[in-house]
Amino acid sequence: MPVMFSVLELMPDWLLTHGPAFLMALPLLMAAIMAVLPNKRVAWFTTFIVTSILTITAFALALYNAKVGTTIYKMGGWAPPHGISLVIDALNAPVLVLIALMSLITVVYAMPATVAEIKPNKRAPFYAAFLLCVAGLLGMVITGDAFNVFVFLEVSSISTYVLVAMGAARDRRALSAAYNYLILGSIGATFFVIGIGFLYMETGTLNMADMARILADLDGGSRVAKVAFAFIVIGLGLKLAMFPLHTWLPGAYAYAPTPVTVFLASTATKAALYLLLRFTFFVFDPSYAYVADGLLYILVGMGVIGMVFASLQAIFQTDARRMLAFSSVAQVGYMLLGIGIATTASVAAGYLHLINHAIIKGGLFIALGAMWYRFGITRTEDFQGLGKTMPLTMGAFTVLGLSLIGVPFTAGFVSKVNLASAAADAGWWWAVGIIMLTSILALVYIGRVLLLAYFQSPPQVNGETVIRNEAPIMMLIPMWVCALASVFIGVKSDAVVGASIRAAELLLGAG
C-alpha cells in the first residue's frame, strides 16, 4: 500500500479536502449542462471526462481513507449533527470506487451501444439522465444524513426510470417495465422515508452517527424504532430486489438500453445493499433483539428462498438478459445471507460478493449487449455458434460466466468460499449446502448457453453460414477489463478481501 499512497501526492490538496462534495456536485452540475448540449459526440466525450474524473477522485479518496481513517466533510461548514455531513469510511469508500469505476466502464461501452439503441436527438438527454443517476448513487452512498439518503435515492431512481424507458426505441416493453419499476420503486422509497420519519420521532436527529448513539443510549428504543426498522428494511428490500420484492427487476434489466442494464446491474442494487448494511449494523445494531430477529428471519429467510427460486427461474428463461436478471436476484440472496449470519467474517463475505458480483454482472451484460449489437440476438437459443462467430466476446462471457458459477481462480470462487466458510464457522451447515446447490443451478443456466455457443455450428441465414463478426473494440475493452478484473481478484484477492474485512470490522468490531 505505501506505493499506492504516493499517488496521493499527485492529487491537489483541494481534491482531498473537498473531494466528497466534489464527487456528487460535479455529475449533478454536468447533468444540467449536458441536457442542453446540442451535439451528441460532445455529450459522450464530456460524460467520459466527467466519469474519469469521478473515478480518479473516488480512488484518491479511498486511498486517503485507508491512510488517515474516517473523514467527515461538513457541508457548507455546518457542523453535524445539525448540518449535513459527508462521511467517507472503510464501508463506503470501496462502494464509491465501484460506482465511479462502473460508470466509466459503462460510458466506454455506451459509445457504440447508444449509437445503435438511442435516437440521435435523445443521446444528450440520455447522458444527462445517466450522470444524474451517477450523482444520486454516489450521493446516497457518501452522505451521513438519513433524509439526504432518501433525496439521493430518489434522484437516482427517477433518472433510472427515464433511462429504462429509453429502451422503448428498441423494444416497446421497456415502457411497461419502466412504469412497473416506477410504481414499485416509489413505494420502496416511500416506505424508506416513513422509516426515517419514525427514526426521527424516536431519536430527534437525522444524522446517522447521532441516531446510532441515541439508539444505543435507549438500548434499541421503543416500538417506534422497531417499526422504523421494519419500514426501512422493506423499503430498501424493494430497491435491492430482495425476493419476493424483485418483480420489477427482470423487466427493467431485460428491456432497458444495454448500457443502462450494465450500469443498473452493477451499481443500483449494490448501493441499496450498502444502505441496508449501513442501517442494520451502523444505525441499528444486531445486539437489539428485533434487529437480530429481522436479520435471521427476513434477510436470511428471503435471501435463501430467493437464491433457490430465482436460480430455478433463471434456468427456464428463454431471453438471455432475463436469465441474468433472475441470476442477479439469486446473487443478491448470497449477499443477504452473508449479512444475515451477522458475524464479521460473513458480513465481509457478503460485502466481497457485492463488489465481485458488480464486476461479473457488468461484464456479462456488456457481452450480451455486444451480441445484440452485432446479431440482434437476445434469446438463448440464438447463441449457437457464437464461439466461432464472436470468439473474443464469447471468451469474456465464458470467463465471467465461470466466475458467476464460482470456478476456482475467479472472483466468484473467492467470495463463495469466504461465504461458505463463514457460514460453516457459524455452524450454519445447511447454508453451505444451499450455496453449493445454487452454484450447481448457476452451472446449469450458464452451461446451457456455453454448450450452445461452443458445440453448435453457426446458423445459416439465407443459405449462407454466418461468418465471424467480432464486437467493436470499444465494447471489447470494457468487457475484458471486467473479465480480467474478475480473474485478477480470483488469483490475488488480498486487496479486495482486505477492504471487505475492514468494512465488516467497522460495522461489527474486530473478531
Partner 1 sequence: MSELFSQYNYVIVIVLMMTGLYIVFASRNLIKKLVGLSVFQTSVFLLYITVAKVKGGQPPILIEDKPYGVDKDGHALLEGPIQVAAGDGAFLLPGPGSDVLYSNPLPHVLILTAIVVGVATLAIGLALTVRIREVYHTIEEDEIQEMDFVYNLEGTAD
Which one of 185-193, 285-293, 460-468, 472-480 is the stretch in contact with partner 1 (CB under 8 A)?
Answer: 185-193
Binding of partner 1 at residue 247 (CB under 8 A)?
no
Q: How far is the CB of 205 from partner 1 (least distance, A)?
A: 10
Amino acid identity, position 464: E
In angstroms, rounded to a whole number, what is the distance separating the alpha carbons of residues 74 and 49? 27
Which one of 31-39, 40-48, 183-191, 280-288 is the stretch in contact with partner 1 (CB under 8 A)?
Answer: 183-191
State CA 160 to chain mean position distance. Answer: 13
Query: How many other CB atoms are there within 10 angstroms of residue 487's CB atom?
Result: 17
Which one of 53-61, 178-186, 307-315, 483-491 is the stretch in contact with partner 1 (CB under 8 A)?
Answer: 178-186
CA terminus-to-terminus distance, the chain: 23
**Using the rule CB under 8 A, which residue among 37, 88, 91, 193 binds partner 1?**
193
Question: Taken in order 497, 61, 109, 162, is the CA torsion positive or negative?
Answer: positive
Binding of partner 1 at residue 263 (CB under 8 A)?
no
**Using the rule CB under 8 A, which residue among 52, 186, 247, 456 binds partner 1?**
186
Report phi then psi at 319, rounded to 5. -95, 130
Query: How many other CB atoms are there within 10 angstroms of residue 305's CB atom?
Result: 15
In angstroms, rounded to a whole number, what is the distance separating the alpha carbons of residues 193 and 196? 5
Which one of 10-18, 69-77, 169-177, 282-290 is the stretch in contact with partner 1 (CB under 8 A)?
Answer: 169-177
Binding of partner 1 at residue 75 (CB under 8 A)?
no
Query: How many other CB atoms are there within 10 angstroms of residue 2's CB atom?
Result: 6
Q: Which residues of 465-477 are buried (b: 16+ CB within 10 A; e: fewer)?
A: ebeeeebeeebbe
x-or-dash string of contact with partner 1, 361-390, rule CB under 8 A: ---------------x-xx-----------
In angstroms, rounded to a whole number, what is the distance separating the alpha carbons of residues 272 and 241? 9
Instruction: Give the SS3 label for residue 247.
Output: coil
Binding of partner 1 at residue 230 (CB under 8 A)?
no
**Using the rule CB under 8 A, which residue among 197, 395, 447, 459 binds partner 1?**
197
Take residue 221 and report the three cell numbers written for it. Answer: 428504543
Which residues fall within 8 angstroms of residue 440, CB to CB, at 6 or more apart? none
In angstroms, rounded to a whole number, what is the distance separating the alpha carbons of residues 174 and 184? 15
Binding of partner 1 at residue 116 (CB under 8 A)?
no
**Using the rule CB under 8 A, which residue among 22, 45, 48, 200 binds partner 1?**
200
**Using the rule CB under 8 A, which residue among 172, 223, 468, 492 binds partner 1?**
172
In angstroms, rounded to a whole number, what is the distance separating the alpha carbons of residues 471 and 373? 8
Is residue 334 a contact partner of residue 404, using CB atoms and an 8 Å limit?
Answer: no
The nearer residue to partner 1, 108 or 234, going by C-beta atoms, is: 234
Binding of partner 1 at residue 119 (CB under 8 A)?
no
Q: How far is the CB of 144 from partner 1 (least distance, A)?
A: 16
Binding of partner 1 at residue 173 (CB under 8 A)?
yes
Binding of partner 1 at residue 176 (CB under 8 A)?
yes
Task: Give the interface with partner 1 as residue ranges (CB under 8 A).
Answer: 147, 150-151, 154, 158, 161-162, 165, 168, 171-173, 175-176, 178-179, 182-183, 186-187, 189-190, 193-194, 197, 200-201, 206, 319, 376, 378-379
